[in-house]
Amino acid sequence: MTAYVVNRLILLIVSLLGVTVLVALIVRLLPASAIEVLAAQQGFSEAADLDRLEHELGLDRPFLVQYGTWLAGVLRGDFGDSLRTRRPISDELKARLPVSLQLAGMAFVVAVAVAIPVGVLSAVRQNTLLDYTARSLAITGVALPGFWVATLVVVWPSVWWGWSPPLTYTSFMDDPLTNVSQMWIPAVLLGLYFVGFLMRMTRAMMLEVLRSDYVRTAWAKGLAPRVVILRHALRNALIPIVTVIGLQLPVLVGGAVVYEMVFTVPGIGRLLLEAVQNRDYPVTQAVNFVLAGIVLTANLAVDLSYTALDPRVRLGGE
């Protein structure tokens, strides 16, 4: 087990380095460089001004030197400064990452609270009206574009009833009630998008487990339906379900950008979009580094949770 964890941690570090290199390369290959965008924003047009700005920001150095300097700073806990605002990127991340994590956490609670019970009921009552309705709603939820649904939620109530969701943001530490009242609508919309994937996975795994011999034996013994479904069926169906949850958690953080933009939530997804639009290389690299770290850590946590869900599972050949 220890050797497995060490190997996975080494792979995690290598993967993080690979992500940062790819992101640093790709963002510099986009049309319009950071200097051109900054020059347009600040009204520079003379070649001397462009050269001065490029030298001032250190963008005239070779790519490997720029990347090495940035990586050395990351190892010290310093992501550098934004090219556009000249503010420390660490301060932006500290301010915005908790907002995205709160939004993703609330969406996760909504998704799990809805998807798993509905998926279990859909499997237990297969080919009934409940099953058909749940499956149809799940497919609809996955198919509908998030930006379109979010826009309708903002526009329709204001047109028909003269009301719109709050489009401002208040910190949870400043006013918890106001914060929750502002965050629950985008959290529910984001969570319902995740419900479709999780509900279908729960239903499929439950149907497979319900056909297994040990569940049939439990029914034959006369155990209560609640005991058979929850203790024998659901627990054995949880491993692939937990895998989906673990893989989708980072997607919730990264996929929240649509809802952050529509509902003006100052999260990390919105920061990433603004950084790409402004060709802010250090911010783009820093945000992707954090998101990649969340993804890889979640994957490792999911793998380690297998042994708790199923004692028969052994990691690392143990």
Query: pLDDT-based confidence at 56, cuts 50/70/90?
Result: confident
Pick from 79, 86, 30: nearest CA to 57:
86
What is the mean pLDDT of the segment spanning 43-63? Answer: 77
Query: pLDDT-based confidence at 312, cuts 50/70/90?
Result: low
In which residue are the tokens 């009934």 written? Answer: 128
Pick from 257, 251, 281, 255: nearest CA to 269:
257
Interval 130-188: pLDDT, tens: 989 998 988 888 888 877 888 888 888 877 887 777 777 888 888 888 888 888 888 88
pLDDT of residue 309: 62
Number of domains in the chain: 1
Residue 50 lies in a domain: no
Q: What is the CATH number of the domain that holds 272?
A: 1.10.3720.10
Residue 18 lies in a domain: no
Yes or no: say if 121 and 130 are a contact pair by the CB < 8 Å rule: yes
What is the mean pLDDT of the segment spanning 25-46? Answer: 80
Interval 104-118: pLDDT, tens: 888 889 988 999 999
Residue 78 lies in a domain: no
Residue 58 lies in a domain: no
| Mean pLDDT, all residues of the chain | 83
Residue 171 lies in domain: 89-309
Residue 187 lies in a domain: yes
82-118 core/surface letters (b: 16 or more CB in 10 A; e: else): bbbeeeebeebbeebbbbbbbbbbbbbebbbebbbeb
pLDDT of residue 22: 93
pLDDT of residue 189: 87
Query: pLDDT-based confidence at 270, cuts 50/70/90?
Result: confident
pLDDT of residue 254: 67
pLDDT over 60 at 296, yes or no? yes
pLDDT over 70 at 250, yes or no? no
Which token pair is 178?
């106001």
pLDDT of residue 118: 92
Interval 279-295: pLDDT, tens: 888 999 999 998 888 88
Residue 182 lies in a domain: yes
pLDDT of residue 129: 92
CB atoms within 10 A of CB 301: 12
Contacts of 47 (CB under 8 A, 6+ apart): none
3-state secondary structure of 125: coil
Strand partners, 81: 88
Side-chain-side CA neighbours of 135 within 13 Å: the count stands at 12
pLDDT over 90 at 306, yes or no? no
Residue 128 lies in a domain: yes
Residue 7 lies in a domain: no
